[in-house]
Structure 1
Amino acid sequence: MNIDLHTHLLPGVDDGSPDMEESLRILERMKAGGAERVYLTPHLYSPRTPTDIGAIKESWRKHSAPLNSSGVEVLLGSEVFLRPEALTGEVITMGETDVLLVELPTSARPHYLIEAIEVLQKRGFRIVLAHVERYGFLFKKSLLPFSRSKLEDEVYRLKDMGVLFQVNWDSLKDGRTGLLLEKRMVETIGSDKHHNRDGRGVIDFSSESASQFINDYYL
């Protein structure tokens, strides 16, 4: 199944789509690109984009039927920012499965990373890390010009823990993403599409780049 695991198309709840009309226009483009299922993953516990879980659920209750009239199956999830409050707080999993999309800080490695993942796993969640290519602390920096990046040991530890990796469609030609793909460490893809002004493309599932992702084996 062609799945876009990461979008911000639930109207009016975060920094994503402002209204139903814009969401439907984007979903129409996603359908044309071959998408069969799209997850709406509004921010939760994000320090940059405060949201209210009650408002998210209410928006989903109000908009789920018209969104699903687009010809694409649309399901609710969330993008949970990994911070202490999220470890014990209420979250929204992907389509009522046990899969949880988790976002990390991009500025520096959180000192509690491994321990926090373990806490969420003990709560019964299977963890997908959102846009892994953004986390520079997972990649070794080389002092040599034109040399390739290498993976930090923590990447292998996360994979040993069963953590799944999601990369963004627009990052597939990025060097970090290429390294992860070469090591066969990426399980799923998302557009991270917010709105029509964000400059992000929708996934072209007919392309060779997208065909390597089989997204439905764990959802």
Structure 2
Amino acid sequence: MYVDFHAHILPGADHGSPDLAHSLRQLWAAKNVGVDTIVATPHFYLESGHTAEEFQSRRDRTYEALVQSNTTGIRIIKGGEIHLSYDLPTLEGLEQLTIEGTNWILLEMPRGIWQNWIADAIGYIESARKLRVVIAHIDRYEKSMQENLLDMGYGIQVNAENICNRLQRRKLCKLFKTGQAHLLGSDVHTDPVQSYGWFQKAVKILGQDGETAMETARSILDEIPS
């Protein structure tokens, strides 16, 4: 059974699932390929005026709507995909943006090339705010951004779709093989059958490293009180 560490499945929470019916189709598509646990990761953009309180309220409301209609047996865990901005490290309530029940936070990097403030910002989140960082979809960033993030040694999540891409497959598989990448996500938004088809295929391409990624995800989520 699989853990999807990055998924936009909460109905109306962001530009992923637009409504409950779509969210349920996402869950059944996940169920059909063997996913039993999904971290729901709606977007958070401080620069768009979001607050931690608003985010938590939106996440809780949409989570409850989905859980009440979920008959798949899939465990849904509240998380977030938190866009890194210059002011994020000092945000009041930053701890509310973590994967609930843990001190892990999934960070999406700003667009463009590497900038030195990024290292300072992530370092502050870890050292001063005492949160543990996972970098979302390393495969989507510009080369200098990827290289610097990998050198920093944080948790790294990869999107299944790009492991299935022949142009990226070898490089991304190597990241898992060498222990530089740790977690797999569907990053599902609109087409659940395609996204979870890629997810299943990516786990098979990774082989034993895919199983290790699932074990790593479960070890993080085991921190959540039952």
If the TM-score is normalised by the length of the shorter chain, which range does it land in? 0.7 to 0.9
CA distance in 1, matches of 2:14, 2:29: 21
Q: Quote how far apart the aligned CAs of 1:133 are.
A: 1.4
CA distance in 1, matches of 2:21, 2:48: 25
Residue 62 (structure 2) pairs with residue 96 (structure 1) = no
Aligned to 2:35: 35
Residue aligned with 1:112, SS: helix
Task: Choose 34-43 or 83-92, whichever is displaced more.
Answer: 83-92
Could you tell me which of 158, 161, 170 is aligned with 2:161?
A: 170
Residue aligned with 1:10, SS: coil
CA distance in 1, matches of 2:104, 2:149: 21
Structure 1 residues not aligned, in runs of 5+: 140-150
Aligned to 2:130: 124
Matches within 5 A, 1:1-219: 2-45=2-45, 52-53=54-55, 54-67=57-70, 69-89=71-91, 90=93, 91-121=96-126, 122-138=128-144, 152=147, 155-156=150-151, 158-159=152-153, 163-172=154-163, 173=165, 174=168, 175-196=170-191, 200-202=195-197, 203-204=199-200, 207-209=204-206, 210-213=210-213, 214=215, 215-219=217-221
User: Do the aligned partners of 1:15 and 1:49 also contact (CA within 8 Å) in 2?
Assistant: no
Residues 1:50 and 1:31: Cα distance change in structure 2 (over 3 Å): same
Structure 2 residues not aligned, in runs of 5+: 222-226
Aligned length: 203
Task: Choose 192-201 or 24-33, whichever is displaced more.
Answer: 192-201
Q: Quote how far apart the aligned CAs of 1:194 are.
A: 0.8
Aligned to 2:224: none
User: Do the aligned partners of 2:33 and 2:196 also contact (CA within 8 Å) in 1?
Assistant: no
Residues 1:50 and 1:123: Cα distance change in structure 2 (over 3 Å): closer
Q: Which amino acid aligns with 2:189?
A: H
CA deviation digits over 1:43-68, x for unaligned, max 9? 0116589684132332223333323x
User: Do the aligned partners of 2:29 and 2:193 also contact (CA within 8 Å) in 1?
Assistant: no
Q: Which amino acid aligns with 1:82?
A: L
User: Do the aligned partners of 1:78 and 1:92 also contact (CA within 8 Å) in 2?
Assistant: yes
Q: Which amino acid aligns with 1:193?
A: V
CA deviation digits over 1:1-35, x for unaligned, max 9? 62100011111021100111111111111011111
CA distance in 1, matches of 2:138, 2:12: 26
User: Do the aligned partners of 1:43 and 1:50 also contact (CA within 8 Å) in 2?
Assistant: no
CA distance in 1, matches of 2:10, 2:47: 19
Q: Which amino acid aligns with 2:18?
A: P
TM-score (norm 1): 0.81
TM-score (norm 2): 0.78
Residue aligned with 1:65, SS: helix
